[in-house]
A and B are shown apart, each in its own frame.
Chain A
Amino acid sequence: MMIDWQHFTWPAALLGGLLIGIAAAAFMLLNGRVAGISGILGGLLRWQAQDRAWRVAFLMGLVLAPLLYSSARQMPDIPIGASYPLLLVAGMLVGFGTRLGNGCTSGHGICGVARGSLRSWVATGVFMGVGIVTVYVVRHGLGYWA
Chain B
Amino acid sequence: MTNLIALICGLLFGLGLIISGMTEPEKVLGFLDLAGRWDPSLAFVMAGAVSVMALAYGIARHRSPAVNSRAATVDKNLLLGAAVFGIGWGLAGICPGPALVLLGTGSAKGAVFFLGLLGGMGLFERWAKYRNTRS
Residues of chain A at the chain B interface (Cβ within 8 Å) = 1-4, 7-10, 12-31, 33, 35, 37-38, 41-42, 45-47, 53-55, 57-69, 75-76, 78-82, 84, 86-102, 104-106, 108-111, 113-119, 122-124, 126-136, 138-140, 146
27 A-B pairs with C-beta separation under 8 A: A4-B37, A12-B21, A12-B41, A15-B20, A16-B18, A17-B45, A17-B50, A20-B12, A21-B48, A21-B49, A21-B53, A31-B9, A54-B3, A58-B9, A65-B104, A69-B14, A78-B105, A82-B93, A88-B116, A91-B88, A91-B112, A95-B117, A97-B82, A105-B22, A126-B79, A127-B82, A139-B35
B109 and A89 form a contact (CB under 8 A): no
B86 and A76 form a contact (CB under 8 A): no
Q: A8-B40, A119-B72 are in contact. Are A19 and B7 (CB under 8 A)?
A: no
Q: Chain A residues with Cβ under 8 A from B74's Cβ?
A: 118-119, 122
Interface of B is mostly: helix
How many A-B contacts are there with CB distance less than 8 Å? 477
A114 and B54 form a contact (CB under 8 A): yes
Residues of chain B at the chain A interface (Cβ within 8 Å) = 2-27, 29-30, 32-57, 59-60, 68, 72-74, 77-97, 99-105, 107, 109-110, 112-125, 128-129
Alpha-carbon gap, A15 to B113, bound state (A): 27
Alpha-carbon gap, A116 to B22, bound state (A): 23
Q: A4-B39, A18-B52, A100-B81 are in contact. Are A45 and B118 (CB under 8 A)?
A: yes
A66 and B18 form a contact (CB under 8 A): yes
The 4 A-B residue pairs with the shortest CB-CB distance in the complex, in nearest-first order = A61-B10, A91-B116, A101-B81, A16-B20
